[in-house]
Amino acid sequence: MLDKKISDLINEQINKELYSAYLYLDISNYYNEKGLVGFGNWYKVQAQEEMAHAMLFLEYMHLTGQNVTLEAIEKPAVEYKDNKTGLETGLEHERCVTASINNIYSVANELKDYKTVEFLTWFIKEQREEETNAEDLLQRFELYGMDPRSLYMLDKELEARVYVAPSLVL
């Protein structure tokens, strides 16, 4: 049995992960509509990863005897001013997700819920990778995005990204 505080925070995180998937699908759609199908693919894979993260949290709740409450998913409110907006939005969002997971981790530590701390350790590492990837992509866009040939090459590189399911064992 989980402490109610942890249970509530993980329920919130499930919904945040589902929103993340929705946000990344929105960003993917933007890039696809602009003809940047590689960028669209990169964010489609991001959406798949976020759905998988939501499912991992959901499974953890079930394994610990908790009920899951799914809330409505808010429509992303991104105003795309240019091709950089999606990248900036993605990075900012990953930082918010990291803060949320860090908060759950901190509360689990305070409550000496070491089972949850262990579970969250994978997500802490995953978020470090997510932020690094988002930062790298934004930096590369800033370096190459204004040159059409370089942007084309970066887009082609991103088109090759494929979804790989997480290897976290619950």
Query: How is 105-118 classified by DSSP, letter by letter?
Result: HHHHHHTT-HHHHH
Name the pTM for this structure.
0.95
The pLDDT-based confidence of 2 (bands split at 50, 70, 90) is very high
pLDDT in the model for residue 1 = 81
Determine the pLDDT at residue 80.
Answer: 97
Mean pLDDT of 139-168: 93
41 and 28 Cβ atoms separated by less than 8 Å: yes
Q: Where are the alpha helices (DSSP H) in 34-113?
A: 37-63, 85-110
Percent of the chain with pLDDT strictly greater than 70: 100
15 token code pair? 């919904």
Write out pLDDT tens, residues 113-151: 999 999 999 999 999 999 999 999 999 999 998 899 999
- Residue 170's pLDDT is 72
Domains in the chain, start-ordered, CATH in brackets? 4-159 (1.20.1260.10)
Give 56-85 pLDDT, tens digit per residue.
999 999 999 999 999 999 999 999 999 999
